[in-house]
Amino acid sequence: MRINRTRLKRERIAILTGGGDCPGINAVIRAVAKKAIIEKDMEVIGIEDGYHGVINNQYRILHYEDVSGILTLGGTILGTSKTANPYRYPLKKRGKLEFQDRSKIAIQNINKHDVSCLVCIGGDGTLSIAHRLFEDGVPIIGLPKTIDNDLRGTDITFGFDSAVSIATEGIDRIHTTAQSHHRVMIVEVMGHRAGWVALYSGVAAGGDIILIPEIPYDINVITEKVNERNKKGKRFSIVVVAEGAKPKGGDMVIQRIVKESSDPIRLGGIGFVLGEQIEKITGLETRTVVMGHLLRGGSPTSFDRILATRLGTKAVDMIGNKEFGYMVGMKKNSLVAVLLKEVARGPKTVPLNHPVIKAARSVGTCFGDD
């Protein structure tokens, strides 16, 4: 049999998706793989279940047909993990949880497959690990994925617009039942330690009170706002609260601890705490709705599909230019290369002088601080 030597020498890249899922991941996988195959004649490997797949050598070849028709799909065809960290890999031995450094094994697996670049699609946790792997010699390019929109170096992440759209629709629906029953309705949304989702969905849906981690709240200010609305004949109020919101001098509400995760704290429950306090102080019937993982599911918005396509195709251009150690970001509607070192510095929170906060305050929205 005659061996095609040219095909054996095709450049090979690998893609992984880590952290929480969100709409738009498959769109970016499609963009990277299709451009790499069509324009660069590259071979594309899909790493399964994030860094688990790198450590355990779980992968599959992604052909053109594998990434065709996935633009509109939610989730990720490659699977993901929020616990796998090559530098702190969780293992249970004799019933006890231990952590081991498996980074050398991960790097060996990458090198064994002669991968010229590892494309890491993820949020701050995934890309912080990517930065460490890059420092250890792995050629890497990152892509900004998170509904939280909390990555440094980019104005927006794909997944954010979809989550805001879902949250906004949910709050819109809450309005009608709040009006009908004359209730205070609290809608708790995700966002981790940043308030981007709560801020944007709250403003878009006309939330009366918006509580975000960046602005610690005073429960008395919130109840005064509710009572004031009630006296003026507005016999309902909508409170949009980020899961990371906290009172002045207080702490965030922790739902549970996931010890094997690189970020073990899982926030959640602030909506129920607020609901009890508001009802007790005002005497008004109060209900809480937690949007939770609904924000991660379903098809991406058209905006996220376009953003993911732009980011993914730009990543392939950077691979061709050997621009490794960067994340592809978006600044003022232009694609930019951001050092992974910058991304790994920590989350991007909402500035207190953000124009959306200013606009919201000017139309009477309360942020629990005045």
The model's pTM is: 0.93
Token representation of residue 248: 């002045």
- Residue 8: the pLDDT is 56
Give 10-residue mean pLDDT values along the chain (370 residues): 52 96 97 97 97 96 97 96 91 86 95 95 95 97 97 97 98 91 94 96 97 97 95 93 95 77 77 95 95 94 98 97 97 96 94 97 95
- Residue 262: the pLDDT is 66
Task: Assess whether the region 8-158+300-343 and the region 164-295 belong to the same CATH fold.
Answer: yes
- Residue 2: the pLDDT is 45
Give yes or no: 148 in active site.
yes
- Residue 3: the pLDDT is 41
What DSSP state is assigned to residue 233?
T
Residue ranges per structural domain of the chain:
8-158+300-343, 164-295
Q: Does the domain spanning 164-295 belong to CATH 2.40.110.20?
A: no
In the set 49, 148, 161, 208, the catalytic residue is 148
Q: Phi and psi dihedrals of 82, rounded to 5?
A: -100, 0
* CB-CB contact of 141 with 319 (8 Å): yes
Q: What's the rounded Cα separation, in Å, for the pair 26 and 75?
A: 7
- Helix, strand, or coil (residue 193): coil
Task: Classify domain 8-158+300-343 at the CATH class level.
Answer: alpha beta
Q: How many CA atoms lie within 13 A of 92 on its CB side?
A: 4
